[in-house]
Structure 1
Amino acid sequence: MDIIVRPTPKLQGEIGALSSKNYTTRYLLAAALAEGTSTVYYPAHSEDSDAMRRCIQDLGAVLEEDDEKAVITGFGKSPRNVKELNVGNAGAVLRFLMGVAALSEEVTFVNTYPESLGKRPHDDLIDALGQLGVQVDHNEGKLPITIRGGSPKGGRITVSGEVSSQYLSALLFLTPLLAEDSEITVTGDLKSKVVIGQTLEVLGQAGITIHADEDYMFFRVPGGQSYKAQVYTVQGDYPGSAAVLAAAAVTESDVTIRNLAEDSKQGERAIIDVLRMMHVPLTHENGNVRVQGNGRLKALEFDGDTATDAVLAMVAAAVFAEGTSRFYNVENLRYKECDRITDYLTELRKAGANVEERQAEIIVHGRPEGVEGGVEINAHYDHRVIMALTVVGLRSKQPLRIRDAHHVAKSYPQYFDHLKALGADVEWVK
């Protein structure tokens, strides 16, 4: 389905932040890898987290869920042998489970999104799994991918961090379960280091010991460990909230989002600092973020590597800022559900934004007077692109029609409901 986003001068109201997708998927996996029963309170419900739910059950975990919590009895070190796993369009879930699949005899990850996840390469993780003695059959690094494991061996492992930190996270989930100790050396420029901090945080809560160098470029992992069944509570999601906060920043607004912890390890928490640097009136106290927007913003420069999943929302806000903004160190945006630099900027230009791209940079020449809009744009099946383009539509002079906007459900199914509750003029159309 498509969404029509009409100019909306004012947003007002209060919503609760969505539960974190990143923490939900990690807690569900840690629970599945434990022997015993774990409880995850306030797990996210989205296509990505539901893909993890589906796959851990296929691998032998027992999951029972109500409105408040998920109760998972894990399979420990012995996942059930299954012929196929379908992660949908969830890249992180695929990569984490490629590691877990090394404990199984043979698993094929099928390709159900050939125009999105099916285009993304996974060579660096395939190479690292080969160093553990795991045979991987693949299509030039892409899906479908068959893992022939069963008896992976620890030892010295080298993995590139140039494309994604998710390859490293996959190894960090797997290697504690191997009989041997492991040493993991990261080569190249590790992307999204802050997300590795989230992985290590979850592993520590699950009773796993990993010795990490301060720069996250070298890890010592004792073998023979077991995940402990635990009780986890999922915190509020900054990546999804970033788009709502950007929408409040570019309009006349008085918007509050609850359940966004000030001390969160989510790198996308930087949206708060970025909006402040853009002179957006904002307070953050007791887990509540309140934006009293006036539609006036100042340009800035920002290193986006620390907040990958909030950069597109930041760029959307910068479209209406006074001056030229630059978001640098963001090349890994090219390796997501779509090329989030070229594809996103192409659509922004259609709407009337003045933007430029470099290999690892996005440059935005702000238009405080607004953009023209009045066009149909393609979100490239990407939930982050959909959310960010919606922000632009709220300040366009004429409506934007965003194609296939239902793919926002990948991470934030309630996004348009939440915007409507705040007063946004958005309408679903077939």
Structure 2
Amino acid sequence: MDVIVRPTPTLQGEFGALSSKNYTTRYLLVAALSEGVSTIYHPAHSEDSDAIRRCIADLGAVLTEDDEKIVIQGFGRNPRDVKELNVGNAGAVLRFLMAVAALSPEVTFVNTYPDSLGKRPHDDLIKALGQLGVEVEHNNGRLPITIRGGKPAGGQITVSGAVSSQYLSALLFLTPLLEEDSEIIVLDDLKSKVVVGQTLEVLEQAGIIVHAADDYMSFKVPGRQAYAAKSYTVQGDYPGSAAVLAAAAVTKSDVKIHRLAEHSKQGERAIVDVLRMMEVPLTHENGTVHVQGNGILKAVEFDGDAATDAVLAMVAAAVFAEGTSRFYNVENLRYKECDRITDYLAELTRAGAKVEERRDEIIVHGSPEGVEGGVTINAHYDHRVIMALTVVGLRARQPLLIKDAHHVAKSYPQYFDHLRELGADVEWVK
């Protein structure tokens, strides 16, 4: 379905942030890898988190869920022998489970999103799994992918971090279960180090020991460990909230979002700092971000590597800032559900924004007077692009029609409902 976003001068209201997709995915995984019963409170519900629920159940975990929590009986180091897994369009879920599948004799990951996840490369993880003695059959590094494992060895493993930190995280989830100790050496630069910090945080909570170098470029992982069955509570989600906060920043607003911890390890928490740099009136106290926007913003320069999933929302706010903004060190945006630099900037240009791309930079020449709008937007099946372009539509002079906006459900199914609660003029159309 498509969405029409009409100009909306004011937003007002409050709600609780959705639960974190990243933490939900990791807690579900470590619960499945334990041999006891774990409880996860306030898990996220989205296409991605539903994908990992479905897959760990296929692999033998027993899940019982109510409105508050999910209880999981794990399968430990012995997943059920299944022939196929369908992760939908969830890249992180695919990569984490490719590593888990190394414990199985043969699993094929099918390709149900050929125009999105089906285009994304996984070569670096495939090479790393090969070093563990795992045979991987693939389509030039892409889906469909068949993992033939069973008894992967440990030892020294090298993995590139230049494209994604998810490959490293996948290995960190797997290696504690191996019979041998492992040493993981990261080659090239490591993107999104802050997300690796989230993985290490969850591993520690699950009773797993990992010795990490301060720069996260090498790790020593003792083998023969067991994941402990624990209780976990999922914190509020900054990546999804970033778009709502940007929407409040570019309008006249009085908006509060609760359940956003001040000291969260989510890198996208930087949206609060960036909006402050843009001189947006806001406070962040007791887990609540309160934006009292006046639509007046100043340009910024920001290293986006630590806040990958909030950069598009930051760029949307910068479209209306006074001056030229620069978001650098963001090349990994090119390897997401779409090329979030070329594809996103093409749609921003169509809407009337003044933007430039570099290999690893986004440059925005702000238009405080607003943009023209009045066009149809291709969001490239990408939930982050959909959310960010909605922010632009709120300040356009004419409505934007965003194609296939239902793909926002990948991470934030209630996004348009929440915007409507704040007074945004958005309408679903077939």
TM-score bucket of the superposed structures, by smaller chain: over 0.9
Q: Who is 1:163 aligned against? A: 163
What secondary structure, in the 3-state scheme, does the structure 2 residue paired with 1:393 have?
Answer: helix
Does residue 63 of structure 1 match 2:69? no
Runs of 4+ in 1 over 6 A off after TM superposition: none
Question: Counterpart amino acid of 1:103?
Answer: L
State the alpha-carbon separation in 2 of the partners of residues 14 and 271 from structure 1: 18
Distance 2:207 2:34 in 1: 10
Give, in whole Å, the separation in 2 of the partners of 1:170 and 1:425.
41
**Superposed counterparts of 1:164-243, under 5 Å:** 164-243=164-243
Structure 2, unmatched stretches of 5+, are none
Q: Residue 362 in 1 paired to residue 336 in 2?
A: no
Distance in 1 between the 2:187 and 2:366 partners?
Answer: 37
Aligned match of 2:388? 388
Name the structure 1 match of 2:321: 321
Structure 2 residue 87 is the aligned partner of structure 1 residue 90: no
Query: Who is 2:3 aligned against?
Result: 3
Aligned partners of 1:414, 1:226: CA distance in 2, in Å?
A: 37
Shift of 1:312: 0.1
1:379 aligns with 379
1:144 aligned partner:
144
The amino acid that maps onto 1:342 is T
Q: Which residue identity is paired with 2:269? A: R
Letter in 1 for 2:6: R
Letter in 2 for 1:395: R
Question: For 2:172 and 2:306, how far apart are their aligned partners in 1?
Answer: 20
Correspondence 1:107 to 2:114: no
Aligned-partner residue type, residue 252 of structure 2: E
Which amino acid is 1:111 matched to?
Answer: N
Question: What amino acid maps onto 1:39 in structure 2?
Answer: T
User: Could you list the runs of 5+ residues in structure 1 that have no partner in the other structure?
Assistant: none
The answer to whether the aligner puts 1:51 opposite 2:48 as a matched pair is no
1:429 maps to 429
Tell me by how many angstroms 1:196 deviates.
0.2
Structure 2: distance between partners of 1:291 and 1:189: 36
Deviation per residue, 1:160-186 (Å, 9 max, x gap): 000000000000000000000000000
CA distance in 2, matches of 1:94, 1:253: 39
Q: CA–CA distance in 1 between the matches of 2:188 and 2:43?
A: 34
Separation of aligned partners in 2, 1:282 and 1:210: 38
Partner of 2:246: 246
Distance 1:416 1:66 in 2: 24
Deviations 1:106-156 (A, max 9, x none): 000000000000000100000000000000000000000000000100000
Q: Match of 1:416?
A: 416
Residue number in structure 1 paired with 2:274: 274
Aligned to 1:33: 33
| Secondary structure of the structure 2 residue equivalent to 1:102 | helix
Per-residue deviation, 1:396: 0.2
The Cα of 1:365 is off from its aligned counterpart by 0.0
Deviation at 1:318, TM superposition (A): 0.1
Partners of 2:382 and 2:70 in 1: CA distance: 27
Kindly provide the CA deviation profile for residues 336-373 of structure 1, in whole angstroms up to 9, marking residues without a partner as x.
00000000000000000000000000000000000000
Instruction: Summarize deviations over 1:188-230 as a string: whole Å, max 9, x none.
Output: 1100000000000000000000000000000000000000000
- Secondary structure of 2:103's aligned partner: coil
Q: Distance in 2 between matches of 1:191 and 1:81?
A: 33
SS of equivalent residue, structure 1 residue 290? strand
* Cα distance in 2 for residues equivalent to 1:216 and 1:35: 29
Q: SS state of the match for residue 4, structure 2?
A: strand
Distance 2:425 2:300 in 1: 29
Alpha-carbon distance between aligned partners in 2 of 1:283 and 1:121, rounded to the nearest angstrom:
40
Q: Percent identity?
A: 83
- Mapping for residues 109-124 of structure 1, pairs under 5 Å: 109-124=109-124
Residue 198 of structure 1: SS of its match in structure 2?
A: helix
Task: Determine the C-alpha separation between the residues in 1 that align with 2:252 and 2:184.
Answer: 49
> Which string of whole-angstrom CA distances, capped at 9 and with x for unpartnered residues, describes residues 251-299 of structure 1?
0000000000001000000000000000000000000000000000000
Could you tell me how far apart the structure 2 residues matched to 1:214 and 1:8 are? 46
Q: How far apart, CA to CA, are the structure 2 residues paired with 1:300 and 1:427?
A: 32
**Counterpart residue number, 1:401:** 401
Distance in 1, matches of 2:350 and 2:395, equals 14
SS of the residue aligned with 1:265? coil
Write the distance in 2 (CA, Å) between the matches of 1:38 and 1:121: 33
TM-score (norm: length of structure 1): 1.00
* Counterparts of residues 269-308 of structure 1 (less than 5 Å): 269-308=269-308
Letter of the structure 2 residue corresponding to residue 348 of structure 1: L
* Mapping of residues 340-355 of structure 1, within 5 Å: 340-355=340-355
SS of equivalent residue, structure 1 residue 241: helix
Give the Cα separation in 1 of the matches to 2:154 and 2:405: 43
Per-residue deviation, 1:325: 0.1
2-structure distance, mates of 1:113, 1:146: 17
Cα distance in 1 for residues equivalent to 2:382 and 2:174 = 29
Query: Following the alignment from structure 1 to structure 2, what is the Cα–Cα distance between the partners of residues 413 and 13?
Result: 19
Return the alpha-carbon distance in structure 1 between the equivalents of residues 276 and 148 of structure 2.
Answer: 50
Deviations 1:39-95 (A, max 9, x none): 000000000000000000000000000000000000000000100000000000000
Deviation at 1:237, TM superposition (A): 0.1
Following the alignment from structure 1 to structure 2, what is the Cα–Cα distance between the partners of residues 423 and 188? 46
Matched to 1:157, the amino acid is: I
* C-alpha separation in 1, matches of 2:6 and 2:189: 41
